Amino acid sequence: MNKVKILGVGSSPRKNGNTDILLDSFLKGAASKGAETKKVLLRDYSIESCIGCESCRKDGNCTNFYDGMQLLYPEIEDCKGLILGSPTYNYNVTSAMKAFIDRLYPFYVFSEERPGPYSSKLADQGRKALVFSVCEQLKAEEMGFTLEALAMPLEALGYEIFDKFQATGCFSKGEVLNNDDIIKKAFSAGKEFAASIR
């Protein structure tokens, strides 16, 4: 029986910060359920911002840039589970996560007319995603659009969103480690996430 494969993608520019720690907790939980996991930290990759050239509509792949995304496209295709995490920056995701999400455009299949119907190469395959964000403020509303900015593009690509996980009140580097409840919840969420993927 093939193992469930889960890719975790973190977009914090801060090494060993709260986003990194929570991503590790999700992946450890998933691994405890027998999933094969891999972690990607976007700060380790050079990813150009999408320039809207639309070459991927014709070529089926991004042929304008040969950067870190060319390494990540096969990883995304190979994993049924995807975990995306970003700290909240001005009520939204980090610029690295935004670039990553925008560069998922080659997975769409478009009709000729503009605007027109579209589909996804990743749809109808039982793919699921868990998204999470870390926020300095105590109120979840202070996350603004972060969780939606992570979840909505994945839903459009055919993923079922398993969870939108919030970690509020965390700012100082590694502060989330002082909150056993959040760490345990992240581990459990990762475990349940892996169990939900068939």
Number of domains in the chain: 1
Q: Please give the share of the chain, as a percent, with pLDDT higher than 70.
A: 99
pLDDT band at 83 (very low <50, low <70, confident <90, very high): very high
The mean predicted confidence, pLDDT, of the chain is 95
Residue-range definition of the domain harbouring residue 26: 5-196
Q: Residue 177 sits in a domain of what CATH number?
A: 3.40.50.360
Q: Are 29 and 190 in contact (CB under 8 A)?
A: yes
What are the DSSP calls for 40-81, one per residue?
Answer: EEGGGS--PPP----HHHHHSS--S--SHHHHHHHHHHH-SE
Q: Output the pTM of the full model.
A: 0.95
Contact 42, 119 (CB under 8 A): no
User: Can you tell me which residue has the tokens 């995701």?
Assistant: 93
- pLDDT band at 113; cut points 50, 70, 90: confident
**Cα dihedral sign, 162-50-106-68:** negative
Q: What is the pLDDT of residues 59-82, one digit of tens each?
A: 889 999 999 999 999 999 999 999
For residue range 27-42, list pLDDT tens digits in order. Answer: 999 999 999 999 999 9
